[in-house]
Chain A
Amino acid sequence: MSEPFEPKMLAFLCNWCAYAGADLAGVSRFQYPPTIRVIRTMCSGRVDPVFVVKALQSGYDATLVFG
């Protein structure tokens, strides 16, 4: 038997735009799977490629950087 694949995703979001957008999604009650997790950075430019590697190493199936 196989369960449907639910990718675990980590999103690095810029505090000023994308993180605000994720809050707005909440205020608007847009529903999305809880397997998406968010880390707030002060700018998407703060995201070091090492973070992406670390995320994938620790078991995420995908990483998103929004800013």
Chain B
Amino acid sequence: MAAKSGNSKVGSVMVVGAGIAGIQASLDLAESGFYVHLVDASPSIGGLMPQLDKTFPTNDCSMCIVSPKLVDAGRHLNINIISNTEVDFVEGEVGNFTAHLVNHPRFIDPVKCTGCGVCKQHCPVTAVNEFNEGLDRRAATYIKYPQAVPLAYAIDRETCIGCGLCEKLCLAKAVVYAEEERRSTLEVGAIILAPGNEVFDPTAFDTYSYAHHPNVVTSLEFERILSASGPYQGHLMRPYDREEPKSVAWLQCVGSRDINHCDNGYCSAVCCMYAIKEAVIAKEHSHEPLDTAIFFMDMRTYGKDFEKYYERAREEHGVRFIRSRVHTVDPVEEGRLKIIYTDEEGKSLEEEFDMVVLSSGFQPSKRTVELAERLGIELNEHNFAETSSFEPVKTSREGIFVCGAFRDPKDIPISVMEASAAAAAAAAPLVESRFTLTKTKELPAERLVAGEEPRVGVFVCNCGINIGGYADVPAVRDYARNLPNVVHVEDNLFTCSQDTQEKIREVIKEKDINRVVVASCSPRTHEPMFQETIREAGLNKYLFEMANIRDQDTWVHQNDPQGATQKAKDLVRSAVAKAALLDPLEQTVLGLNKVALVVGGGVAGMVAALSLADQGFPVHLVEKTGELGGNALKLRKTWKGEDIGSYVKDLVARVQSHEHITLHTNTQVVANTGFVGNFDTILEKVDDPEQKTTVQHGVSIVATGGKESRPTEYLYGEDDRVLTALELDSRLKEDGNGFKNVNRAVFIQCVGSREPERPYCSKICCTHSIESALQLKELNPDMNVYILYRDIRTYGFREELYKKARAKGIIFIRYSLERKPQVSNGSGSLQVQVYDPILGRDLVIPADALVLASAVLPNEAKEVVRALKVNQNAEGFFLEAHMKLRPVDFGSDGLFLCGLAHYPKSIDEAIAQAQAAAARAATVLAKDVITLGAVKAVVEPDKCAVCLTCVRTCPFGVPYIGEDGYAVIDPAGCHGCGACVAECPGKAISLQHFTDKQLIAKTEALLLKEIGEAAAGK
């Protein structure tokens, strides 16, 4: 095989930086057949996300959603975590790189360390705790946080006094004082850079009093203040006197959109949303009504569901939004602070607050910049990695890719998306070496538990203070001890942490446990992880049950600790009752069809198809119209000025000539059956419904796209001089000279977006209008160009375009929803009337051209929704499995999404998302078998009366009457809903893991008292 020859490519990838982006890229690569070396300078992986309290716009607990990913990466057989390590330099080329690493000493051997913490307890040194942003102290022997992966301590030799106590006390003999810096090398085929950003340090802003006043904190410090695992255990307190503040102010754009105090002219893209989130969460944490005010220039809530979050914060939570620029923050008496600011009308005003949060922006750290220089990666003027819009994750050096905030400032979902995209891009040149370096897992044989008495182990989680802060966890634990069949109970600070998994495995063996109950959060998020843990201890994974005592108990009964404790006991009792009746189940293993179906032939669909085809997977690309290219055919340039027309032409040519792509134009999807790995989809010619084709495939990618809405206001359709943004693009593309005679052009933003009937921001229009305005200015430099806007949302480096537009004399006038511009053409010319808040009066602008930035709508794609059974949100965009960490997966396995069908986005984001969808799809297609879940309906032939009820009931059409004269349910097709089970009049069908007996036991055990009475009455 080629793998043996001298010039073969190495089947491993080095990922530099183990934040959420680095972790996602590693997981995707490791799941699709590549061995991953995940290198991070820190002693543990996770990056910034573990420091955050909640995440917008769902308010998910950041630690809770990232923790399963940390554990997945930590225990993945094909991910080698190399902590405390930096990359010195890299030799070689794509396929055969040699990476030279510097391994800094940790002074504690992570393999021997058990994470018991004895060293930390006895360490006499106190040092600044960086994880809590310096708000409290830690010992010199430390671990960043309890869920850290790898779960091993480190010694901070900067502060260590060398007393040797920890070495004497460590039972594992893990302390290695004499450890020295080492150098090592790795052979890898490709490299992904995901070093992230650092948060801007506002010390230099002397007028904001940050350096010398404890009650002026950065947004990251405030995250730690809010966090249950933070310095104040989640109690809202101000650092000055540990009193609860009654008023908190947020100052936006600190270290962003600022070239006076710093060089960061760009927008950091996330601060508006996190400030709103912090204000809402702070109000929730506060015992007294808390006054919150956000001082901002433009409110940039441009992402999916962000605008609704902003509306809710304002309308429901009463967060105040003050459009202003803050001049000074002055300390006044009793730790309070006076904010002096200028409002929109230019008036100088002041207001006092108990606490001030500086919404600090992002920038690449000095270390990252130096790394990039050593690797020979081109950087842009702001020191971020330079990339093109058409190859968003490719750096200037072949074989080295980039993702996350080092490409441009961005939020978690887009980082995760790009991480998957980088995985796809890194995999493409290494396809021939897939599975050459990966290892396979050796699981212990499953213990036979049939016939054994149930021996249940119960693990009750405190979840920091998320559970323990409201319910009496020790009481729940002690209560569980006396339940029938329970042989072991314990409570954990975090049951999901890596050390607890180890503990669970040990206890299972030690006490011969054959059923495990975890009382913690939701089985929807954490059950798979715990099931894997017990499987590693030799138990069948179905011998597991969860009690949801957080999401559905302590979080929803925060004001009723007694009620919450009682409910937790009841839920645990109910789970134990079901656990006793659990049976080990066998999972079906099936082959799979290594073929993909991509629906939609726009840029996203084509990129996804090519990305998979380049990896050697056959793809069926379905396009409803006769032409590939979608919206991109109408676009002129990217905001960076790259020509879209030639890119699309090239893309179409590659798709049409690719040996692995089968193109189906004028075709739509009409029906789909099957499940991940084995789908059958019926395609139909749009103009000839009789012409049908069935394709067999293992995954589907939905890229059905979107469109520009038709405005219903501002004389659109009544006056030829009123155009939409795309119509202007088309005219500029055909012949821009027509605009040379235009003296005045007006753009109106948010036409049909951010309105009550369409409450989302279309994200791309601010940048697009500014780019078009600049083009008009170029055609006729004397033209007066006006942009009427509500907030200018030129996030990230797009801010440069906004700056350029102002420098070129384009006039920006803000309007509000209550006072929208009026357009008339009574006297022959177009007249745009708008209230100018700076001048404080109405202006009338005679216009030769009026351009409407109309909303971006999703294409209806009804047939796709029906056939694939995928969900849409209220606005018709497709719903991803998890907004933060699964941005391109659908809820059902084997289905992925990308492009405008997900949400309005620019072409570079659509391309990255399409590559991401391909990477996620490749994690399925790369495998040889699919292991199905065992939650399936099974028929007892003797009881079947062949009444056909199940055949009629099943929403997926799976049951049929077999040759032997009874109903047959193919486990491969069964979705495990159990509808047939409930309907079967003869009780011939049962749903494994959700049997009648199990569910009734669970129901009855939920109300103990009544059961007692019922028993007594019998």
Contacts and interface: CB of A to CB of B under 8 A. Distances in A.
Interface of A: 8, 10, 15-16, 19-20, 22-35, 37-43, 45-51, 54-55, 57-60
Given A55-B1003, A59-B1009, A29 B556 contact: yes
Given A10-B1006, A51-B999, A57-B1014, A34 B551 contact: no
A53 B1010 CA distance: 14
Contacts of A16: 891
B558 A31 contact: yes
A46 B1000 CA distance: 12
17 contacts: A15-B524, A22-B552, A23-B524, A24-B58, A26-B550, A26-B551, A26-B552, A26-B555, A31-B558, A34-B567, A39-B999, A41-B999, A51-B999, A54-B1004, A55-B1003, A58-B1007, A59-B1009
Given A37-B1006, A60-B1007, A25 B979 contact: no
A57 B1003 CA distance: 10
B564 interface: yes
B408 interface: no
Contacts of A47: 982
Given A25-B551, A43-B977, A54-B1004, 19 more contacts: A15-B524, A19-B522, A19-B524, A25-B552, A25-B556, A26-B550, A27-B551, A32-B557, A33-B560, A34-B556, A34-B564, A38-B548, A38-B552, A41-B978, A41-B999, A45-B979, A46-B977, A57-B1014, A58-B1006
Contacts of A43: 977-979
Interface on chain A toward B: helix, strand, loop, or mixed SS?
Answer: mixed
A45 B978 contact: yes
A59 to B, nearest CB: 3
Contact of B557 (A23, A31, A48): A31
Nearest to B570: A37
**Which of A28, A29, A34, A41 counts the most chain B CB atoms within 10 A?**
A34
Interface string B956-983: 0000000000000000000011110111
Contact of B551 (A22, A35, A42): A22
A46 B571 contact: no
Contacts of A31: 556-559
Q: How large is the interface on B (under 10, 10 to 19, 20 to 34, 35 or more residues)?
A: 35 or more
A54 to B, nearest CB: 5
A48 B981 contact: yes
Nearest to A48: B982
**Which of A8, A27, A51, A60 counts the most chain B CB atoms within 10 A?**
A27
B567 A37 contact: yes
A50 B571 CA distance: 21
Contact of A42 (B550, B994, B996, B1000): B994
Contacts, number: 128
A8 B570 CA distance: 13
Contacts of B391: none
Contact of A58 (B58, B59, B953, B1011): B1011
A18 to B, nearest CB: 11
B563 A45 contact: no
Given A57-B1014, A58-B1004, A59-B1009, A40 B523 contact: yes
Contacts of B566: 34
B524 A42 contact: no
A54 B1007 CA distance: 12
Contacts of A59: 1007, 1009-1010, 1013-1014
B1002 interface: yes
A54 B1010 CA distance: 12
Interface string B51-76: 00000001111000000000000000
Nearest to A40: B523
A42 to B, nearest CB: 5
Contacts of B953: 45
Contacts of A37: 567, 570-571, 574, 1006-1007
B932 to A, nearest CB: 14
A34 B978 contact: no
B556 A30 contact: yes
Contacts of B955: 45
Interface on chain B toward A: helix, strand, loop, or mixed SS?
Answer: helix
**Which of B955, B981, B1014 counts the most chain A CB atoms within 10 A?**
B981
A60 B570 CA distance: 14
Given A37-B567, A54-B1000, A55-B1003, A45 B977 contact: yes
Nearest to B55: A27
**Which of B567, B935, B977, B1007 counts the most chain A CB atoms within 10 A?**
B977
A26 B524 CA distance: 13
Contacts of A20: 524
A31 to B, nearest CB: 6
A34 B1013 CA distance: 21
A58 B554 CA distance: 25
Contacts of B1013: 59
**Which of B60, B982, B1014 counts the most chain A CB atoms within 10 A?**
B982
B553 interface: yes
Nearest to A35: B563
Contacts of A39: 574, 999, 1002-1003, 1006
Interface string B981-1016: 111000000010010100110111011011101100
A57 B560 CA distance: 27
Nearest to B571: A37
B345 interface: no
Nearest to B984: A48
Contact of A23 (B522, B574, B999): B522
**Which of B553, B978, B979, B1003 counts the most chain A CB atoms within 10 A?**
B1003
A21 to B, nearest CB: 10
B284 interface: yes
Contacts of A46: 977-979, 981-982, 991, 994
Nearest to A52: B1003
Contacts of B284: 29
A51 B522 CA distance: 23
Contacts of B1009: 59
Contacts of A28: 59
A45 to B, nearest CB: 3
Contacts of A24: 58
A23 B558 contact: no
A8 B1007 contact: yes
A10 B981 CA distance: 21
B1002 A42 contact: no
A25 B953 CA distance: 31
A18 B999 CA distance: 17
A28 B60 CA distance: 8
Contact of A33 (B552, B563, B1003, B1010): B563
A26 B64 CA distance: 13
Contacts of B58: 24, 27
B979 to A, nearest CB: 3
Nearest to A19: B524
Contacts of B557: 31-34
A37 B558 CA distance: 16
A32 B551 CA distance: 12
B311 to A, nearest CB: 15
Nearest to B1013: A59
B1003 A34 contact: no
Given A34-B564, A37-B571, A45-B982, A58 B552 contact: no
